[in-house]
Each structure stands twice: as C-alpha cells, then as structure tokens.
Chain A
Amino acid sequence: MTEDSAAAAPGFVAARQWLDRRRQDAGLRPYVVYVAAALIFGLFAVILRHDGFLTASNLLNIGRQAAPIAVMAAGMTFALAAAEIDLSIGSTTALSSLVAAEVVGEYGFVAGAAAALAVGAGIGAANGLITVKVRIPSFLVTLGTLGIVSGIARNMNNLQSLPIRNDTFLAVFGAGSLGPVSSLLLWTVVVGLLGHLVLHQLRWGRHVLSVGADRNAAAALGINTARIRVTALMTSAAAASFAGVLLAGRLAIGRHDLGENLLLTVIAAVVIGGTNLFGGRASVAGAVAGSVVMAMLNNGLILMGLRVADQLIARGVIIILAVALSMREQKER
C-alpha cells in the first residue's frame, strides 16, 4: 500500500493492523462463534419464518434453553482451560436440582441454592482430589463420578420429581424477572461476566490457563498445579450445580435427570466458543455464545419437525463437526 492511500484511510490501516495482530496471536478463532451465531440465526429466520422461529415467545424459549447450558459451559471452560475435563456435570446438575428442591421446602430459597452449590463444590473437590492424588486422568475419574452421582440422584427420591412451591425460589431462579429482563437471562449474564472477569482479571484465572498450557512449566515457576487443577474442577461442578438450581427454578421441580443429557451439548458449546479441548486456550464469553448457538440449533431442529431420534442424530453430527473443526484449527497453530 502506498503512503498516500494509507494517509487517506487511517481507519482502514488501523483495522488491518489490528486484524493482523489478532491473527498472529490467537488467530481469528475467538470470533468464529459470534459469526456462527449470526449466520445460524439468519438462516433459521429465513427457512423457519413460517414455523414461528422469530416469534417473541420462541426467542424467549431459546434464551431459557440456553441459560443452564451457558452456566454449565462457563464452568466447563475452566476445567478445559486447566487441561482437565468434567464429564460428571450432567449428573451433578440433576442431583443439585433434587437437593435444591429438598432443602428449599424446609429452609428457604437461599439455603436451597447454597446446598446445591455445596453439593457441586463437594463433587468437584472429589473429582479434583482423585485426579491429582491418585493420578488418574480426570476424564476417567469424572466418568466414574458421573455414574455414582446419577445413581445417588436416582435413589434420592425414587425416580419421582420433587415439586418446589417456594415462590421466592421460583421467581429468583425461574420465571421471575427484574423489570423487563427475565431472571434466567440475568443469571446467565451474571455468571458469564463473572467467569470472564475471573479468567482475565484474577491471578487464579491466569494460573488455570498456564497450568493447562504447560503444566511442567507452570510448576517450574512455583505455581501449585495440583491446587489449580482441583479448584478448576470445583468450578465446573459448582457451575453445573447452579445450572441445576436454574432448571429447578424454571420447571418448579427437582428430578433425577434434569440436565443429565446436556454434557455433550455443553462440551460442543465450549469448544465452538473457542476453548481448546486440551487446555491452554479459553473463552468464557465464547462459551456463552456457543451455548446460544446450541440452543438455537436445538430449537431449529425441533421447529423443522425432526423426530427426537433424528434430533439426536443431527445433534451428534453437529457436535463432532464442531469439535473436528476446532481441532483442525488447533493443529494448524
């Protein structure tokens, strides 16, 4: 480019420099999810225009679907950032919904939510300590706790759902709203923002990323890598518990299978959002956006009239594609 045209278009030059820098640093990968969200939204808005995709109630429905996925995804981002994975989040969500339902009836809404979060933190601590102390990869440990926790959830109320009648709980974590903003949306934004700040502005967030990128190098600089890995797994489990609270609030019940099938959806949301499945790169904002993508896809597949079985197949294909794309990009770097 000549000097003249550079002077004529300083904004263009600045934009190009910014783009170049991005490409060299993290690549354009972090932005893919937002483009994907816009494209999918546009696509469905056109092809499903007669099927009610754009109606206010359907968009609200997508938001409600996305909320627990986004909360779980924000937590899972920290596990993946630390180069761990938490496969037990789905059953943790389910058990937490039951615990919340059980406790809220006796001790009120704060205690209900707190008990659920404590259950999550406990499961996460167990996952983390076994991973670190017994030196078993977290995908195996959490595969084991997945079974244990869902067994406990099934035993807890004999496969029956437990109704929640505490109005405050239902308003705060479910159908309520603050002004025009529904409480589910509000919680999603709060969790997403909190996660983003923790990842970028707190020492712990940077240490999680360091441990995930190169555990030995982080250890050589004196970082307590065991502590970081345990707390990262506690974060993903606690977030899963909070998602259980939100599901319980939305459906006004606790049940042994609430959120149990969300694991793959959450992993896809996180990976689409730009987090590396094997540690060292993470984006909470991307994970939240990825959750919206997954919720839109779910919704679109239903509106297209796919049967449940075909939805399962389509979702599986989408997840594998998303992960494959993200891995290919990873190898290129």
Chain B
Amino acid sequence: MTAVATDDRAALEVSGLSKSFRAVRALDDVAIDLRYGRVTALLGDNGAGKSTLVKCISGIYAPDSGVVRVNGVERSIPSPEAARSLGIETVHQTLAVIDPLDVVENLFLNREHTRGGRLGARLGVLDKKRMRAESSEILGRLDIRIPSLRRSMSALSGGQRQAVAIGRAAAWGQQIVLLDEPAAALGVEQAARVLDLIRSLRDAGVAVLLITHNMDRVTEVCDRAVVLRQGRKTADVDVGAVTKDDLVAYITGARSGGLA
C-alpha cells in the first residue's frame, strides 16, 4: 500500500445523489464527502438507503442523478471495474467472497498476476507463486491470520472470511475503501479485529466509509458520521461533537444535525 499523506483532502465528494427503484426513492439528493486518513460512518435504519449509496459509488447501480468527484475530478462510475480502477474498493454487505476459491484467489480475483510474458498475459496464465507470496505479505501487513492460504473460503470462519474481504479491499483500495456492515455477522473478538483493520487502513491514509449499526464502533473509530433516513440525509456531524444518543436521535428521525 503506498501511503497517502494523512491530510484532510477530500478523496471522494458525492453530491445530489438520487436513486429510485420504481416507487421507492432509495436515495434523495444525498451528499457525502470522504477524506484521506479519516473514517466516515454511514448510519441509518434498515432500508434507509445505505447499501444503495455504496452500490452507486461502486458502480453496481447507475444513479438517477448526482455528481461524483474523485480527488476533485468529476467521474462517472458505470461499472464495478471503473470504480476499482479509480482506487475505490468495496466490501459489500452480501457479496464479500467467492466460496469455492481459495484465499489467494479471492484476494486477487480480477486482479490476477500472470506469467509467461505477453502471451501468458493474453492467455491469463496465473502466476500462483507470486500471488501466494504477495498474499502472505498483504495479510501479514494487516495482521490477518489465516491457517492456510490454500484453504477454500468455505472452510474459514465468518471472521476470517470477512478479514479476507477487507484485506482484498485494503490491498487494492489504496485511496477509498467502502465497508458495508463488515462486522455485522461477527462475534465480539472478531469484530474487534475488524475495527483494528479499519484503524490500520485509516493510519495508512485511506479514506474509509463504514456502514454499521453499532454506535460503540462509531465513537471508537469514526471521525465523521453521516445519517440517512428514508433516503434523505438527516445529519452530517463530527463524531467528537455529538453523543451516542444524538446519533440515535438522527437515525430515528427525532432530530437532524449539522446540515447547512
């Protein structure tokens, strides 16, 4: 990971983002900024539009309207591949890993190293040795411990699977990493490991978006919090300036905060 300087520059600026599914207005004129070296929480009740926002930024959904800037440059993100080549990596709520593939294959999926020169590259001859070595390095750097890199994902625990998914995002998302409820299905200890991972991403200068329902995690690792309610943004605040009760009030719609 090439460390991006931990300044306060905006990595990703989204504004006026709207997306409807037939009658359902999943996102309504939403704006959000992600900054390098900062973790932004995206909060909201079930169905608030959090995953839809992430999918619009990661090229899975085409938004109805809205502007996305990456490093200050306006970009259209028509496909997941486009998002990835802009340095945006995502751990989706339900699409995290491919079960029958092993750890190395998951880490390098669609980013494989090939061997055998140009012909090998055209044929896609996998350089398994190199990918295995780099996988150990990636996982080691993030202090992710997996019993064997050649294990298929289906043989790993929920925490290990999620760690691999985050490891992949960390390995390729050198600028922006979006995490949709990465610890939702995990036990206490494994969730704590995920938080450690998020901290090390932040310390490496990555702009992180974290979707979670756990207010403790917000106060522990997040710098800013953006709250959605029924597709609308109801709060955009510094986490240090509010209490957990405030955050819950924004989520339930009892109050709104920090909006111009």
Contacts and interface: CB of A to CB of B under 8 A. Distances in A.
B126 A25 contact: no
A78 B154 CA distance: 21
A213 B84 CA distance: 21
A216 B90 CA distance: 13
B92 interface: yes
- Chain A interface helix/strand/loop/mixed: helix
Contacts of A136: none
B176 to A, nearest CB: 15
Given A206-B101, A206-B109, A223-B110, A217 B95 contact: yes
B3 to A, nearest CB: 24
B152 interface: yes
Interface stretch (A6-14, A113-121, A197-205, A307-315): A197-205
Contact of A204 (B109, B124, B148): B124
Given A221-B80, A333-B154, A210 B126 contact: no
B107 to A, nearest CB: 11
Contacts of B81: 222, 224
Q: How large is the interface on A (under 10, 10 to 19, 20 to 34, 35 or more residues)?
A: 20 to 34
Contacts of A224: 81
A158 interface: no
Given A213-B99, A218-B98, A222-B79, 17 more contacts: A21-B148, A24-B155, A25-B152, A25-B155, A201-B128, A202-B123, A202-B124, A202-B126, A203-B124, A206-B112, A209-B100, A217-B98, A219-B80, A220-B60, A221-B84, A222-B81, A223-B109
28 contacts: A21-B151, A24-B155, A25-B152, A25-B155, A26-B100, A202-B125, A202-B126, A206-B112, A209-B98, A210-B101, A213-B100, A217-B96, A217-B98, A219-B60, A219-B80, A220-B80, A220-B90, A220-B92, A221-B84, A222-B59, A222-B81, A222-B83, A222-B110, A223-B110, A224-B81, A280-B99, A280-B100, A281-B100
Interface of A: 21, 24-26, 201-204, 206-207, 209-210, 213-214, 216-224, 280-281, 333
Interface of B: 58-60, 79-81, 83-84, 90, 92, 95-101, 105, 109-110, 112, 114, 123-126, 128, 148, 151-152, 154-155
